[in-house]
Amino acid sequence: MKAYVFPGQGAQFIGMGKDLYESSDEAKALFEKANEILGFRITDIMFSGTDEELKQTKVTQPAIFLHSVILAKVLGSDFKPDMVAGHSLGEFSALVAAGALSFEDGLKLVAKRANAMQKACEIQPSTMAAVLGLDDFTVEDICQRVSDVVVPANYNCPGQLVISGTIAGIDKACELLLAAGAKRALKLNVGGAFHSPLMESAKVELEAAIVATEIKEPICPIYQNIDAKPYTDVQSIKDNLIAQLTGSVKWTQTVQKMLEDGATSFIEVGPGNVLQGLVKKVNRAIETSSASIA
């Protein structure tokens, strides 16, 4: 069974999508439609902008979404998923690729999500940190012991967790995690505390948009971040998408569940190969590849 997976923030690079734009009329038309919907030429930043421009949340998220979704569309009949999942932002790409969301609606939601997250970051300075070499339980326990807001945000693979919270909370947690034997507890260069209660204002804003957007039943189950379970029911998909912004991304558990349910290969659709690396950390023997039109 083929599992198609879609990356999230952090996978971006300058030049992403340029080959698609230049080699496919369908891709070019979709990129131009995206420029129109967003009200600025995101393709200029993606293909030849600076890292600084691309790194802004309001640019990064739509850019990764566009690369993933347009690639899936250009694959045409070669895109035959038995199951899909996306890491954080990638969940929106997965829903569009699996026919649950239209291209236009998906892009509008992602742009709204990115802007709402950027605003939430400005309300309260906050950050995230990567923790390597500790089991999930120890990290969860230490987060609970810190008096400031600190929560596990991304369960990326066994022994790699990202925590999210206030700057003081993350500093304190990193200190305690290193003392508990973490190989590394490293603050990330991100705008704020994604997937934590500090994103509540963004969640409220996004919730209204998700409720008002038409979502159809996907062509295959989508394994959602919030609980790593497969869904095809429209109401559940909406509820889980809303909960995702303040809830943790259970990626380790998602990969484990997909394997349990019969996944025999994982194909990453979008920029980079981060997710393939994480899948291999769960099961070294599983076949992984990048989707490509060549």
- Catalytic positions, please? 88, 195
- In angstroms, the CA 223 to CA 202 distance is 23
Structure tokens belonging to residue 255: 């990969």
Strands 83-86 and 2-6, sheet pairing: parallel
Structure tokens belonging to residue 287: 């076949």
**Would you tell me how many other CB atoms lie within 10 Å of the CB of residue 52?**
9
Structure tokens belonging to residue 215: 């979502």
269-286: b (≥16 Cβ within 10 Å) or e: bbbbbbbbebbbebeeeb
